[in-house]
Amino acid sequence: MGTNAADDPGIIAGLVATGADVLRINCGHGDAAEWARMIANARAAGSARSLRVLMDIAGPKVRTLDVITPAKTNRLNVGDTLWLANRLDRDRSDPFQATCAPSGVIDRLSIGDLVSLDDGKLSGSITARTTEGVLIAITSGRLKGIKLTPERGMNFPGVDLGLDPLTEKDRCDLDFVALNADLVGMSFVETAVQVADFQAELAARRPDWQTLGLIAKIETPMAVRNLPDIIVQGAGRQPFAVMIARGDLAVEIGFERVAEIQQEILWLCEAAQVPAIWATQVLEGLVQDGLPTRSEMTDAANATQAECVMLNKGANQPAAVAVLDRMFRTFSENQSKKTPTLRALKSWPETAL
């Protein structure tokens, strides 16, 4: 849900009418007052059936802060270099410069480390470093590049940045979330120890915390490797599910491996008997522009292998919910989770065979 759902009850009512079962609030946007109004609208719209509210804790995000670009263009392209440092230096000859947050990230980077900008739109590697910063060579990405501006996301695949999955803001948000949500999403979880720490934070805020559903968002290679232990720690203590967060996961493991890892996570979740959520850019064209691509429809059909599918916010969300609802009903006859049911084919009359 976008924050406009706080002041327009019709938005949530429309989603519920077309088949939505869970409404997600991203704690990276809005504040407690807006979230409270959104939840009130959700409770009113879902009074006739079991409607759940999921609140996602934002977690740490590495983003650009201040930037320097050439006078004629701020567009960073393949073939350019980017000086990433703790502070800007106008005496340097580098035409593109940026600082980033959280602090301390740059100190953990080494020559050869991979770098991704703006959800993978540009990628490169670190070719030089000094005590002040690192030089990034952009080697692949969108043909038209990106505009280098503050608040661009950055990923460093395979690098341990030493970031706590709970920021100070997250801990403040948990004061509200623990008491008002039905489900809480943990972003950038990578180990079972982190899950245990998160559960301790919930326990400190809510005596019956074990009735609160916990969703582990799998977004990094380390999270994939540690997923069995994460599941044991989470599902052993409270209702638990896994979200295949394909946005950051694709950037971290490489776009070519997303489909493979997605299937492996589904297999593991089925074996462990925990629900899986298929997330990021499902029916994006339909949600944003009113018309899906053919590949998006195929992706949505494959998403029926999971227990839940997440749609991003957009003006045409209700239509996309309705499409998913129909596809889930249809494909439930063809497949149970990842196992084909081998039902009779219905596209041809018996006389044609």
pLDDT of residue 315: 87
In percent, how much of the chain has pLDDT > 70? 98
The answer on pLDDT for 60 being more than 80 is yes
> For residue 226, with 0-12 CB atoms within 10 Å meaning exposed, 13-18 middle and 19 or more buried, which class applies?
buried
Omega within 30 of 0 (cis) for the link into 157: no
Decide which of 330 and 198 is more confident. 198
337 part of a folded domain: no
Q: Which of 297, 291, 289 is nearest to 315 (CA)?
A: 289
- Whether 271 and 212 map to the same domain: the answer is yes
Look up residue 221 and give its two tokens: 């290679």
Look up residue 35 and give its two tokens: 């979230």
Q: Strands 122-129 and 114-117, how do they pair? A: antiparallel
- Whether 258 and 323 map to the same domain: the answer is yes
- The domain in which residue 194 lies consists of 3-60+164-331
SS3 350: helix
Decide if 175 contacts 169 (C-beta within 8 A).
no
Category of 212 on φ-ψ map: left (φ > 0), alpha (ψ -120 to 50) or beta: beta
How many domains does the structure of the chain reveal? 2
Confidence of residue 68 (pLDDT cuts 50, 70, 90): very high
- Whether 88 and 55 map to the same domain: the answer is no
Q: What distance in Å separates the CA atoms of residue 209 and residue 207, rounded to the nearest whole number?
A: 6
- Whether 124 and 87 map to the same domain: the answer is yes
The answer on pLDDT for 49 being more than 80 is no
How do residues 218-237 score in pLDDT, each as one tens digit?
Answer: 999 999 999 999 999 999 99
- Whether 286 and 241 map to the same domain: the answer is yes
- Whether 82 and 169 map to the same domain: the answer is no
pLDDT of residue 48: 62
* Residue 173: CB atoms within 10 Å: 22
Work out the average pLDDT over 65-86: 95
Q: What single string gives the DSSP state of each residue in 237-268?
A: TS-EEEEEEHHHHHHHH-GGGHHHHHHHHHHH
346 part of a folded domain: no
How do residues 90-115 score in pLDDT, each as one tens digit?
Answer: 999 999 999 999 988 999 999 999 99
- Whether 192 and 290 map to the same domain: the answer is yes
Helix H segments across the chain? Answer: 9-17, 32-45, 168-180, 192-203, 221-225, 227-235, 246-253, 258-272, 284-289, 294-302, 317-331
> For residue 302, with 0-12 CB atoms within 10 Å meaning exposed, 13-18 middle and 19 or more buried, which class applies?
middle
- Whether 29 and 169 map to the same domain: the answer is yes
- Whether 12 and 85 map to the same domain: the answer is no
Output the domain CATH number for residue 258. 3.20.20.60
Work out the average pLDDT over 197-209: 97
* DSSP 8-state code for residue 186: E
350 part of a folded domain: no
Give the distance, in angstroms, between the CA of residue 197 and the centroid of all CA atoms in the same chain: 21
342 part of a folded domain: no
351 part of a folded domain: no
The answer on pLDDT for 353 being more than 80 is no
- Whether 301 and 172 map to the same domain: the answer is yes
- Whether 174 and 276 map to the same domain: the answer is yes
Tokens 């403040």 — which residue?
Answer: 172
pLDDT of residue 351: 64
Q: What distance in Å separates the CA atoms of residue 218 and residue 196, rounded to the nearest whole number?
A: 16
Q: Which of 196, 191, 190 is nearest to 214 (CA)?
A: 196
Of the residues 109, 131, 155, which one is the last residue of a structural domain?
155
Give the number of residues written for the chain. 353
In percent, how much of the chain has pLDDT > 90? 76
